[in-house]
Amino acid sequence: MTNKELTKLVTRLEAGEPLAAEFYARTGTARILGITGPPGVGKSSLIDRLIGEFRRQGRTVSVIAIDPTSPISGGALLGDRLRMQRHSEDDGVFIRSLATRHHQGGLTDATPQIIHALDAAGFNIVIVETVGTGQDEVEVAEVADTVAVILMPELGDEIQRAKSGLMEIADILVINKVDLMNAGTTGRDTIPSAEGKQWERPTIHASAKTGDGLASFCGAIEAHHGYLVRSGELARRRERAARAEVIRLLQSRMTASILRVLEIPRAQNILTDVAQRKLDPYDAVEQLSREIFGSQNRSS
Amino acid sequence: MTNKELTKLVTRLEAGEPLAAEFYARTGTARILGITGPPGVGKSSLIDRLIGEFRRQGRTVSVIAIDPTSPISGGALLGDRLRMQRHSEDDGVFIRSLATRHHQGGLTDATPQIIHALDAAGFNIVIVETVGTGQDEVEVAEVADTVAVILMPELGDEIQRAKSGLMEIADILVINKVDLMNAGTTGRDTIPSAEGKQWERPTIHASAKTGDGLASFCGAIEAHHGYLVRSGELARRRERAARAEVIRLLQSRMTASILRVLEIPRAQNILTDVAQRKLDPYDAVEQLSREIFGSQNRSS
């Protein structure tokens, strides 16, 4: 499949079309790398550097960047995403920004399907970039084999607090923009042994600007993959990803059922009664559940 | 109800207990003010100032701060929230931080219920503070009558992009930390007419540090309330809030059904087949939907 064909396929998946089952059967070989962190820490610039490193190793790389820009006001291909355009002539690189539309959280509903498409298309590495403020931390961990959390030396109060949520999912921690730090505070990287059965999360000090630390970052990604395979954790993470994807699809289908039922006049009256405080929201849910599930399925 | 009793009630609601129907019947009089904006713009400090202004006007104020800190690593009462503690001796002020737990997005499931409890308890103003990175912008607008978006003069690339999502829901725009700006760039506030049938979003230049602009901010909140009442927009927003709350409750109930079904052995086998690429996620969803909805409800 050419990158042009892949672009068309991804567009169809993004619009909600399911990936053909024969594609899914060909997935499972790509390494899925999640890159997340607060706004402004330089995730896109680091990914740009990573692409270069992986390409030098002869690996093909695709990137899905989940962009919080509203499609109404902006569109998804803006700002620092443009910096990656220098790879646009390279068939071994595929980059796609996804707008989050009205989905709440870090991923879009189509993200797992798009990962499968890139995997089936033969990319060695699939990078999923999300903005992690500590709220959507779970989501990227649901699809990735390896999660790298990117931070920078100086962050505000609120971001420092959000960090704790990000730390829980970090397999690798990268402190970017170390070029901004005082000399003497850099170079304290910790790299785990390539043989260990346990994973000790490494901290990498890097600079997307100078390229410092990029080799260590790639080494840590490689070491983590080795650990995933040796420990059996890879199979466990793939089961978790399958479970999360199926739950997400079931929820989408159920939400579609809810919205369909809310269009009927009886449901509209129920909502008006709730707004006017004539009916309690829980009573409304009880009545509407019967419409959606049928009476035998309502919880009580 | 004393603030101590209210604290206990909110804790029960946060744990998922429904608000008693007789409470709900007493709601609808409080003004619900959403305050959102990127991390680090000083939302909590501005709210602290707002509380002071409202109290001087003789109004009672409650604040629900939705905190992205993970409860596993932190808990919800940290950092700048502590600054509001000086109101802790005042019975006319009630402040509560909510952790977002595993919910994805700006609000927690219990937020609408807690707003109703504060409303029923007689608070004149209920402030809902969320961290708005442009992803969860819809959620605070779903519960609030008036949304104030807080920004600051200097923001990074990624936040600037996220702003576009926030702008769509801003009834009032506040540029905080103007004390950091050069002299001459402040004081360009726009305040809408108190009589207009249309709403022209005002821009307020404020400083939570010096108190500058706080009177203008309060004036804009007052003017927006007048507009909501005059235009009939208040009733429309309350209908939208009721709809959003009912949808959220229905989704929670459905997700509970999904998770219950996924525990049964047949469902576990289906998930394992998906993880091992023996079964397509869409086929899995088709099979599982029959378990959850019963065959008559599956979409096709």
Residue in B291, B256, B262 with CA at minimum distance from that of residue B274: B262
Q: A80, A114, A158, A237: best mutation site toward chain B, by most B Cβ within 10 Å?
A: A158
| CATH code, domain carrying A47 | 3.40.50.300
Q: What is the mean pLDDT of residues A167-193?
A: 74
Closest chain A CA to residue B267: A243
Are A183 and A146 found together in one domain?
yes
Q: Which residues of A touch B115 (CB under 8 A)?
A: none
Q: What is the mean pLDDT of residues A149-165?
A: 68
Tell me whether residues A162 and B39 touch, CB distance under 8 A: yes
Q: B69, B286, B289: best mutation site toward chain A, by most A Cβ within 10 Å?
A: B69
Q: Is the pLDDT of residue A77 over 70?
A: no
Burial of residue B257 (number of CB atoms within 10 Å: 0-12, 13-18, 19+): buried
In a domain, A228, yes or no: yes
Q: Yes or no: say if B137 and B36 are a contact pair by the CB < 8 Å rule.
A: yes
In a domain, A100, yes or no: yes
Q: Which residues of A touch B264 (CB under 8 A)?
A: none
The predicted structure's pLDDT at residue B130: 86
Of B134, B256, B294, the CB nearest to A68: B134
Q: Is A109 on the interface with B (CB under 8 A)?
A: no
Pairing of strands B125-131, B146-151: unpaired
Are B110 and B205 found together in one domain?
yes
Q: What is the mean pLDDT of residues B76-81?
A: 43
The predicted structure's pLDDT at residue A130: 86
Q: Which residues of A touch B257 (CB under 8 A)?
A: 293, 297, 299
Are A196 and A292 found together in one domain?
no
Q: What number of other Cβ atoms are within 10 A of residue A295's Cβ?
A: 8
For residue B261, the enclosing domain spans 248-297
The predicted structure's pLDDT at residue A3: 87
Are A291 and A240 found together in one domain?
no
In a domain, B37, yes or no: yes
Q: Is the pLDDT of residue B137 over 60?
A: no
Place A192 in a pLDDT band, splitting at 50, 70 and 90.
Answer: low
Tell me whether residues B161 and A292 touch, CB distance under 8 A: no
The predicted structure's pLDDT at residue A284: 95
Q: Is the pLDDT of residue B105 over 50?
A: no
Please give the helix or strand (H or E) that residue B288 lies within, else none: helix B281-293
Of A21, A69, A167, the CB nearest to B280: A21
Q: Is B137 on the interface with A (CB under 8 A)?
A: yes
Q: Yes or no: say if B130 and B157 are a contact pair by the CB < 8 Å rule.
A: no
The predicted structure's pLDDT at residue A191: 65
Q: Which of A108-112, A184-188, A236-240, A248-252 has the lowest mean pLDDT?
A: A184-188
Q: Which residues of B touch A46 (CB under 8 A)?
A: none
Q: Which of A272-276, B17-21, B263-267 has the lowest mean pLDDT?
A: B17-21
Q: Is B281 on the interface with A (CB under 8 A)?
A: yes
Q: Yes or no: say if A202 and A178 are a contact pair by the CB < 8 Å rule.
A: no
Q: Is the pLDDT of residue A29 over 50?
A: yes
In a domain, B239, yes or no: no
Specify the number of domains making up chain B. 2
Of B251, B283, B297, the CB nearest to A294: B297
Are B182 and B210 found together in one domain?
yes
Q: Which residues of B touch A284 (CB under 8 A)?
A: 246
Q: Is the pLDDT of residue A183 over 80?
A: no
Place A98 in a pLDDT band, splitting at 50, 70 and 90.
Answer: confident
Q: Which of A155-169, B88-102, B227-241 has the lowest mean pLDDT?
A: A155-169
Place B15 in a pLDDT band, splitting at 50, 70 and 90.
Answer: confident
Q: Is the pLDDT of residue A287 over 50?
A: yes
User: Could you tell me which residue, B96 or B39, shows the higher pLDDT?
Assistant: B96
Q: Which residues of A touch B36 (CB under 8 A)?
A: none
Q: What is the mean pLDDT of residues A157-181?
A: 76
Q: What is the C-alpha radius of gyration for chain B, rounded to an integer number of angstroms?
A: 22
Domain termination site, one of B190, B207, B233: B233
If you average pLDDT over every residue of chain B, what do you get? 82
**Least Cα separation, residue A300 to chain B (angstroms):** 11
The predicted structure's pLDDT at residue B166: 79
Of B131, B138, B258, the CB nearest to A133: B131
Q: What number of other Cβ atoms are within 10 A of residue A12's Cβ?
A: 14
Tell me whether residues B281 and A245 touch, CB distance under 8 A: yes
Are B273 and B160 found together in one domain?
no
Q: Is the pLDDT of residue A234 over 80?
A: yes
Are A51 and A170 found together in one domain?
yes
Residue in A162, A158, A157, A107 with CA at minimum distance from that of residue B135: A107
Are A136 and A22 found together in one domain?
yes
Tell me whether residues A283 and B21 touch, CB distance under 8 A: yes
Distance of alpha carbon A210 from alpha carbon B109, whole angstroms? 45
The predicted structure's pLDDT at residue B76: 39
Percent of chain A scored above 90 by pLDDT? 52
Q: Which residues of A touch B251 (CB under 8 A)?
A: 251, 254-255, 258
The predicted structure's pLDDT at residue B69: 47
Q: Is the pLDDT of residue B145 over 90?
A: yes
Are A279 and A243 found together in one domain?
no
Q: Is the pLDDT of residue A80 over 60?
A: no
Q: Yes or no: say if B204 and B189 are a contact pair by the CB < 8 Å rule.
A: yes
Q: Is the pLDDT of residue A184 over 70?
A: no
DSSP annotation string for chain A: --HHHHHHHHHHHHTTPPPPHHHHTT-S-SEEEEEEESTTS-HHHHHHHHHHHHHHTT--EEEEEEE-S-TTTT-SS-GGGGGGGGGTT-TTEEEEEEE-TT--SSS-TTHHHHHHHHHHTT-SEEEEEEE-SSSSHHHHHHH-SEEEEEE-S---HHHHHHHHHHHTT-SEEEE--GGGSPTTS--------SS-SS----EEE--TTT-TTHHHHHHHHHHHHHHHHHHSHHHHHHHHHHHHHHHHHHHHHHHHHHHHHHTSHHHHHHHHHHHTTSS-HHHHHHHHHHHHH-GGG---
Tell me whether residues B156 and A251 touch, CB distance under 8 A: no
Q: Is the pLDDT of residue A245 over 50?
A: yes
Q: What is the mean pLDDT of residues A63-88?
A: 54
Q: A29, A161, A176, A269: best mutation site toward chain B, by most B Cβ within 10 Å?
A: A161
Are A150 and A289 found together in one domain?
no
Of A24, A133, A253, the CB nearest to B277: A24
In a domain, B240, yes or no: no
Are B23 and B59 found together in one domain?
yes
Tell me whether residues B68 and A162 touch, CB distance under 8 A: yes
In a domain, B242, yes or no: no
Of B105, B239, B297, the CB nearest to A275: B239
Distance of alpha carbon B206 from alpha carbon B213, whole angstroms? 4
The dihedral sign for the CA sequence A272, B13, B90, B38: negative
CA A139, A3, B281 angle in degrees (round to 5)? 40
List Cβ neighbours of B21 (8 Å cut-off, separation of 6 or more).
A280, A282, A283
Q: Is A272 on the interface with B (CB under 8 A)?
A: yes
Q: Which residues of A touch B281 (CB under 8 A)?
A: 24, 112-113, 242, 245-246, 249
Distance of alpha carbon A217 from alpha carbon A172, whole angstroms? 8
The predicted structure's pLDDT at residue A100: 65
Are B131 and B43 found together in one domain?
yes
